[in-house]
Amino acid sequence: MKEFITQSVYFGVVISFIGYEIGLFLKKKWKMALLNPLLIAAVFVIGILLVFDVDYESYHNGAKYISYFLTPATVSLAVPLYRQLSVLKKYPLAVLGGIAAGVLTTMVCIYLLALGLHLTHEQYVTLLPKSITTAIGMGISEKTGGIVTITVVAICITGIVGNMLAQTVLKLFHIHNPIAKGIAIGTSAHALGTAKAMEMGEVEGAMSSLAIVVSGIMTVVSISIFSKFI
């Protein structure tokens, strides 16, 4: 069985889609935030690899085809932003100020966490890019001397948790403005959070898409400063 799996070109794609479909089914059936399709898919894939003793490279050789859709999917985020461009023109300072506040909060929280847990410089800079997209985060982590693989894990966990808890946190703090919702989600949980924002509404999705881009730029600048603190 293991030999068949490792020789199958599309094995990674198949089990990834199966895991995600299982997650969607469970989410629709029980409507629980914990049953996030992305989380279920990750657990399912890891379980299959462990049960059949399949190495990651064999899985990646098939699953890499899914990555080809990442670029067009990311570019498509500009569509809702274009449709809501008037909102950005009307509240530029509020939007940019909100994103800046989110980025600064992330930097300060990671800094305090590093101090509290006595992290090394390498561990500290590894976590700093956790709230931005993987492509940018990997580059920053490598340049500042972090552990790139751990950075990717931190980014994925941040996105999944953000996707799962976004609505709960917004309700908890009584945040009802769609612009504020989108900015908060996009700044803290990048693309995975934006997927949830788009489910909430077009304005939320547009502002979240904008937050991904702007927070990425602001984070690059901020890390160049914060990385020197430890």
Contact between residue 58 and residue 13 where contact means Cβ atoms under 8 Å apart:
no
pLDDT at 7: 61
Torsion of CA 216, 217, 221, 226, to 10 degrees: -10
Q: What is the pLDDT of residues 149-179, one digit of tens each?
A: 899 889 989 998 998 899 899 999 999 999 9
* pLDDT score for 221: 93
pLDDT (0 to 100) of residue 47: 92
Q: Report the percent of the chain where pLDDT is more than 90.
A: 43
Cβ atoms within 10 Å, residue 28: 10
With tokens 């980014």, the residue in question is 155
The DSSP code sequence of 63-82 is HHHHHTTHHHHHHTTHHHHH
Taking only the tens place, the pLDDT of each residue in 51-108 is: 888 888 888 887 878 877 766 776 776 777 777 778 778 888 888 999 999 999 999 9
Look at the block and give the residue holding tokens 């001397």: 145
Structure tokens belonging to residue 42:
């990750």
